[in-house]
Chain A
Amino acid sequence: MATVLNRLASAFAITGGILLCLMALLVIISILGRALFLLPVPGDFEIVGMGTAIAVFLSLPYCQLQRGHVTVDMFMAHASKGTQTFFDVVSSYIFAFIALLFAWQMLFGLADMFRQGDISVIIGIPLWIIFPFGVVSFLLLLVCCIYTAYLDLRSMRQ
């Protein structure tokens, strides 16, 4: 279970990173096209914006597993292990709840965008295609939050 979660979150993050590199490549092709043939890739900035959004969503679960979020450590540094664990676990559960809210509401966002047929201005990419990445990433983030909370509790018991 733990390895599955780790692998899944890593796979999400790596996919996001590769997507980011592809976006950079697209921008470079667009620059070259503009410079050589006066022909940039049409709607390049739309694609890059959307690609970045997907990459950001995909990076969320991995960051939680790596405990990469910035915190203010100075006040809790001298608290007992039990106190630290208590607040860390509560924080993780609260984050899990927020992730759940976003996953849940983005489903409605997906439905809205799909029904209204919202598309990007220049090359008409349907906007709803971003939303599944958001929903799935927030759901995986939710699982990762619960998992980190579990790890904290277990390490305290030992």
Chain B
Amino acid sequence: MMNVALPLAAFVILALLLVVRMPVGVAMLVVGIGGYVSLSGVDPVLAYMKTAAFWNYNSYSFSVIPMFLLMGQFASRSGLSAKLFDAANTFLGHRRGGVAMAAVCGCGAFGAICGSSLATAGTMARVSLPELKRYNYSNALATGALAAGGTLGILIPPSVALIVYAVAVEANIVKMFMAAFIPGLLALIGYLLTIWLYVRIVPDAGPVGPITGRDQRIKALLNTWPTLLLFMVVIGGIYVGLFDPTEAAAVGLFGAGILAWWQGGMRLAGFVDSIKATAVTTAMIFIIVLGADFMNIFLAISGFPEFIADLVTGSSLDPYVILALIILFYLVLGCMLDSLAMIFLTVPIFWPIMSGLDFGMPVSDVQIWFGIIVLVVVELGLITPPVGLNVLIIKAEALGTTLREVFVGVMPFLLSGIVRVILLVAFPALTLWLPQILA
């Protein structure tokens, strides 16, 4: 019989450390190392530390993470976001709520070349907030749409969180990227519908914007070609099997760098700023990688994941009830915890449960399906009160807006996100169809 008390105590200690604002990765290291020591003694842990960081960081599949991060930095400096927003605005701006719709579409398009929600939200806010303000959009609608739209950065591939999931469960990253595409589009459509409904109920929130002629539309649309090209090469290249993800990231980094230099006016100072910003995020993620490794070794030795999996499978609860409970757990935890840390911490415990349940499809499909559900639910955490990182980013960009206004504004989008989760759970084909026909 395994000792359940120790892992449970470890989770309590982890929670306490997080409450007193210890960095997430450091807290995971503390608990992971501590738990490992208490089960195996000091010497094996010290011996493991000789090479732990080396083996965790010396990884071809992980090299894609800093590359996609740097690509996103370059893309943010390329001026592409303004062109995407302008193009969408010429088509949608004349409608009620249209400028906000254009901002969401811009986020979606930018998300297709950027793997990070925060970068997408920040970049798009800088170019679209002045316009939203100019046409007298309510603070709530303008900021809510942008905070929600920012999550498209990670929902639409490339996606750093998806890479982390794929590495954690040893899934095929390429298939995960394919699977994420339709749910990502669904998110975009859901957000647009939300704005459409919103301005029907509160017409003053989203006045009509600029009216543009056909020539202007075509011109604006043609201006977006670099984004389209970058997306076709990077994500298209992955989908058709031309590149593996690292190769695609390298090509994308290079392409985005050229665009930033050529169209965005990035010079040496901008380049240095980009790699410094990338260094900060990289280190942040890889400290969590290291902490998760120690946590997982500790938990694996304690037998906790099997224990929980046996407990759940033995409970004869309906698989969908269990999935619903897991989703609920993510929604609650997502209110407080960073999305990557959440995936690293929970997937090694939840995946053994999920793989043992019968959803009427092969385990390899469950792996993809569950990954997308996790991604979507975890991303909702970016816009849920009380923290919601995207909300904080947008608030920082939107001067004169209160945090309360942004959270109120984001609520309808949160609802559309929950509807989307239900759809994805009810219709696995939404996720599994594209990888099946492309494979």
Write the residues of chain A forming the contact surface with B, with a CB cutoff of 8 angstroms.
Answer: 10, 13-14, 16-18, 20-21, 23-25, 27-28, 30-31, 45-46, 48-53, 55-60, 62-64, 66, 68-76, 84, 87-88, 90-91, 94-95, 98, 101-102, 105-106, 108-109, 112-113, 127, 130-131, 134, 138
Contacts and interface: CB of A to CB of B under 8 A. Distances in A.
Interface string B382-396: 000011000000000
Given A48-B60, A91-B20, A62 B33 contact: no
A101 B249 contact: no
Most interface-central of B20, B247, B338, B387 (chain A CB within 10 A): B20
Does more than half of chain A's interface fall in helix, strand or loop, or is it mixed? Answer: helix
A64 to B, nearest CB: 8
B387 A74 contact: yes
B272 interface: yes
A74 B62 CA distance: 30
Contacts of B336: 72, 74
A71 B60 contact: no
Interface stretch (B93-101, B121-129, B180-188, B273-281): B273-281
B57 interface: yes
A45 B63 CA distance: 9
B249 A20 contact: no
B280 A98 contact: no
Interface in B50-72: 50-54, 57-60, 62-63, 66-67, 70
B46 to A, nearest CB: 6
A63 B279 contact: yes
Contacts of A64: 283
Interface residues of B, number: 58
Given A31-B247, A52-B63, A57-B53, A73 B276 contact: no
B243 interface: yes
Contact of A72 (B18, B249, B253): B18
Contact of B284 (A68, A91, A101, A108): A68
A69 B250 contact: no
A18 B274 CA distance: 11
Does more than half of chain B's interface fall in helix, strand or loop, or is it mixed? Answer: helix
B425 interface: no
B275 A17 contact: yes
A72 B287 contact: no
B26 interface: yes
Given A49-B60, A71-B22, A73-B387, 15 more contacts: A18-B275, A24-B249, A49-B59, A52-B57, A52-B58, A60-B283, A60-B286, A62-B279, A70-B25, A70-B338, A71-B24, A72-B387, A74-B387, A88-B21, A102-B49
A55 B250 CA distance: 15
B246 A72 contact: no
Contact of A55 (B23, B25, B50, B282): B282
Contacts of B23: 69-71, 91, 95
Contacts of A76: 19-21
Contacts of A59: 278-280, 282-283, 286
B284 A106 contact: no
Given A60-B283, A63-B279, A98 B33 contact: yes
Contacts of B50: 105-106, 108-109, 112
Contacts of A88: 21
Given A23-B63, A52-B63, A31 B251 contact: yes
B351 interface: no
